[in-house]
Chain A
């Protein structure tokens, strides 16, 4: 197995494009290094992107935030402007694994690992985040929701690397929140994850919303019906009930070692209600 630490995205993309056996991108390595311990793991090439300029930076611009692909999740919580603008995204990223894991793991890696239970992905989807992708044929952009195509599978072509995660500029009176259910307090994987991102008008009425669910289907899903249930309301009980019902209805979970269909379906609604209330408060709603 070959380990490469290229200095440019072009070199990294070329290395991956030229590989004729399984090749992997290494950022934080918190998923990859664990997989490498498995008996059935095989790889010919590991491309470490941490030496590439800009990969470790968070940049704020008029358009929003650009988070380099190698920025550890812990660094997100140390960026005050990012925390103020996207508290739900930051809290989701900092629920992954444990304190030690968060010092290494990245949101881009969380996305590319393509687990339906990835904590940061529902928050990114609710935030309408995009990714910038470098590849053998240049750079392109895509919506976060279009990256995972199924458990462990992404829409990235051979040789393509996520270069950065892009979060839009924040409106006034907007807030987001992410909640997940795990049976323990940390070091666990979401049985259900829910993110709510909303914007209010001066009167406290929800003017726009995005609601995303994790771990209740093969990929993270954006639930339009859930958003519609709260748009135009001030998050009264009826709106919250409708939100919870929409999230439960949209859930298509399976019975597995992590939870049951009945449990996941119900808890998706419970967490949606709670996340919406937190997002609403963060947006300045009362």
Chain B
């Protein structure tokens, strides 16, 4: 497959238009089928028993009374999920998280599961399962977990990344360092140094649809899984590995998805549903309740971050450093490492050093959340940059412009940048009317920048041209944000046909080759590249068919504007053949027409954004209200601008919620106090203003149309933009997220 992914400037017909998404009507009328909307004959109901303790050794589990409950068909514990992980620590963590083995590691950790003929029997059985716990000391705070006297969660953890290697176990699993230059020398050259510590609390992705699946293991060793996921191929691999199935015998179908934001890149209960089905010999439906979603599916890290930035009086940064501590739940992660990589990615720095520590705590296993780890690092760094601008008396945008990374900059995490959008987003912010609009009483303005890597990955796509000339596009990346519409536009663009003539579907794992999951803002980036490739392969087939039809040499046929044309004057009388005409005759010219593509979508262009926020604070109550918000972000090329804007707005909305009110609240007993949407406060519609967006298009050189991922970067700047706006409004630097009314009031009263 010699597919050239290099960017080529061209005029578009379909790309850049805003047709309705194909899944929209089904979603607003309730016809769309989500995880819980699938049923099989004879299906059982599954319920999971969860640890009420933050940390406890499991001395024994007696299921005999529960098994005697009428209607109970299977009960599984860790004994039914033997360790087949063969030394793979990441896989073992997934297994142990799905079903606690020796110890329950957090409030909500699964310890057993029941499949019964109905909910009532299942719930009754849960009550009769007797678990003998030895309650152990626990720790939930990231800083407390690093103290030498903290309870150690895992005696086999010795911090890696430190020389010499430590001789005693701790909760710090890894130390990672990035940067270049000499920060000590850089700070020595600084006229001004800003140094401050920050904290952010743990948040959940808050997807509206809880995890849900239907699992069915057959007696012949085959199995089916219908599931709400961001990556059914990855779920297939994880489940097959954990249950000892051959990958080919497990068919996974992804349902529509009611939000994932990273939380559905990870199996939580699907292997348990399969184990129950295998034991019961019947299909099993498992739906997590909202409480279970909060207690036992992955939130993001809580963090504690120190930042130091030095600059000359003219605003040029001479050195920057950060120490980042990220909680990962009870299993090792690489969340601090990502934070350390992204912290200073917006800037062109001679001397920079970041160090990340991964910290174990008795909280749920951390999962990706939209640009995972970057928002917290950006909160700390962009708050410090804002403070530096105030200290120097330089405009916050000008200071960033002066230090912004550009093409050729060696990034703080290593690579040298190609063409990037941080400078243009800052220039756009500077000239945006929002930046100069007057502020009202008790209002403040803040701005901040954000970065995300973006990802490409393995991608496989089939494009089938039907007999009537319409096109079915089968992709393997789950549509989390409108990618079926975007990919249909791409196919229409390449083939020169109408958007309405393309029907994109997400194929199951048995009907398409492996695809990485929809993460890293890769859905539209990677699958559009594969769609272009598949369409070009189909065009090659159609050109051959035209040559056959005309009985002329293939090299005399070319494709333009959705038609095969005969080249040159010697075939001048041939009327061009359309896709419809070629499709109608396909049976006589060689059979069905299709284009296939398999590729690794390299070169996902990095993404930058600048956000501007106005906030009003009631100084007597600490109540705050976002009154204006603007997102400026580079999309490379906006395939479907409405859905790009939707991604910008959605990321900003989630970031605003994170910044102002969302947080996991634990009691002294280590139990989660607010596992529901009443007290885990995500913003409601009336909390937010219309979020204005501005799309910049700086083409990604590694995509034929210049596309970059757009889904994640928009959640990176809001924490800092809000913090800077509140600090501007109340005159006190807010360094602890969420900036909730009690924290604002305490800061105003000098008790912050």
Contact = CB atoms under 8 A, between A and B. Distances in A.
B751 A185 contact: no
A266 B749 CA distance: 11
A184 B622 contact: no
A263 B744 CA distance: 10
B751 A257 contact: no
A262 B751 contact: yes
Given A181-B623, A181-B741, A257-B674, A186 B681 contact: no
Nearest to B663: A257
Contacts of B623: 181, 183
A263 B621 CA distance: 8
B620 A186 contact: no
A184 B687 contact: yes
Contacts of B1: none
Nearest to A37: B289
A259 B741 CA distance: 9
A121 interface: no
Interface in B660-699: 660-661, 665, 673-674, 678-679, 681, 683-684, 686-687
Nearest to B126: A39
Contact of A183 (B673, B740, B749, B751): B740
Contacts of A37: 289
A262 B679 CA distance: 19
B20 interface: no
B751 A186 contact: no
B548 interface: no
A39 B678 CA distance: 17
Contacts of B687: 184-185
B408 interface: no
Contacts of B542: none
Interface in B694-752: 740-742, 745-746, 749, 751
A184 B681 contact: yes
A187 B673 contact: no
A188 B741 CA distance: 14
Q: Tell which of B289, B291, B745 has the most Cβ of chain A within 10 Å.
A: B745
B746 A186 contact: no
Interface string B553-592: 0000000000000000000000000000000000000000
Interface in A251-286: 256-260, 262-263, 266-267, 270-271
Given A257-B679, A270-B621, A185 B686 contact: yes
Contacts, number: 61
Contacts of A186: 684, 686
B673 A257 contact: yes
A189 interface: yes
B637 interface: no
Nearest to B291: A39
Interface in A185-228: 185-189, 191
B741 A263 contact: yes
Nearest to A266: B745
Contacts of B740: 183
Contact of B684 (A185, A191, A257, A258): A185
Given A39-B289, A187-B684, A259 B621 contact: no
B620 to A, nearest CB: 5
B123 interface: yes
Q: Tell which of B623, B661, B740, B749 has the most Cβ of chain A within 10 Å.
A: B623
Interface string A73-93: 000000000000000000000
Contact of B746 (A98, A184, A262, A271): A262
Interface string A84-115: 00000000000000100000000000000000
A256 B741 CA distance: 14
B497 to A, nearest CB: 44
Contacts of A270: 620-621
B681 A188 contact: yes
A188 B679 CA distance: 8
A257 B671 CA distance: 12
A74 to B, nearest CB: 17
A186 B678 CA distance: 11
A256 B673 contact: yes
Given A258-B679, A263-B746, A266-B745, A181 B684 contact: no
Interface string A153-193: 00000000000000000000000000001011111110100
Contacts of A266: 745, 749
Contacts of A257: 665, 673-674, 679
Interface in B154-206: none
Contacts of B741: 181, 183, 191, 259, 263
Contacts of B621: 181, 267, 270-271
Contacts of B123: 39
A259 B742 contact: yes
A245 B578 CA distance: 82
A18 B631 CA distance: 62
A267 B740 CA distance: 14
B667 to A, nearest CB: 9
Contact of B661 (A183, A260, A262): A183
A272 to B, nearest CB: 12
Interface string B610-623: 00000000001111
A263 B678 contact: no
B677 to A, nearest CB: 8
Contacts of A39: 123, 289, 291
Contacts of B678: 187-189
A259 B674 CA distance: 12
A191 B679 CA distance: 11
A191 B742 CA distance: 10
Interface in B305-360: none
Nearest to A42: B123
A259 to B, nearest CB: 6
Interface in A7-39: 37, 39
Nearest to B665: A257
A263 B622 contact: yes
Contacts of B291: 39
A39 B50 CA distance: 12
A184 B687 CA distance: 6
B654 to A, nearest CB: 15
Contacts of A98: 684
A232 to B, nearest CB: 26
A270 B687 CA distance: 22
Interface in A28-77: 37, 39
Interface in B267-298: 289, 291
Nearest to B625: A185
B289 A184 contact: no
A263 B742 CA distance: 5
A262 B673 CA distance: 20
Contact of B742 (A185, A260, A271): A260
Interface string A228-246: 0000000000000000000
A223 B681 CA distance: 30
A183 B660 contact: yes
29 contacts: A37-B289, A39-B123, A98-B684, A181-B621, A181-B623, A183-B660, A183-B741, A184-B681, A184-B684, A184-B686, A185-B686, A185-B687, A186-B684, A187-B678, A187-B684, A257-B673, A257-B679, A258-B679, A259-B741, A262-B742, A262-B751, A263-B622, A263-B741, A263-B742, A263-B745, A263-B746, A267-B621, A267-B745, A271-B621
Q: Which 9 A-B pairs have the closest CB atoms?
A: A263-B742, A185-B686, A257-B665, A257-B673, A257-B674, A270-B620, A260-B742, A257-B679, A187-B684
Given A259-B741, A262-B749, A263-B742, 15 more contacts: A181-B741, A183-B681, A184-B661, A184-B687, A185-B684, A187-B678, A188-B678, A189-B679, A256-B673, A257-B679, A262-B745, A266-B749, A267-B745, A270-B621, A271-B621
Interface of B: 123, 289, 291, 620-623, 625, 660-661, 665, 673-674, 678-679, 681, 683-684, 686-687, 740-742, 745-746, 749, 751
Interface of A: 37, 39, 98, 181, 183-189, 191, 256-260, 262-263, 266-267, 270-271
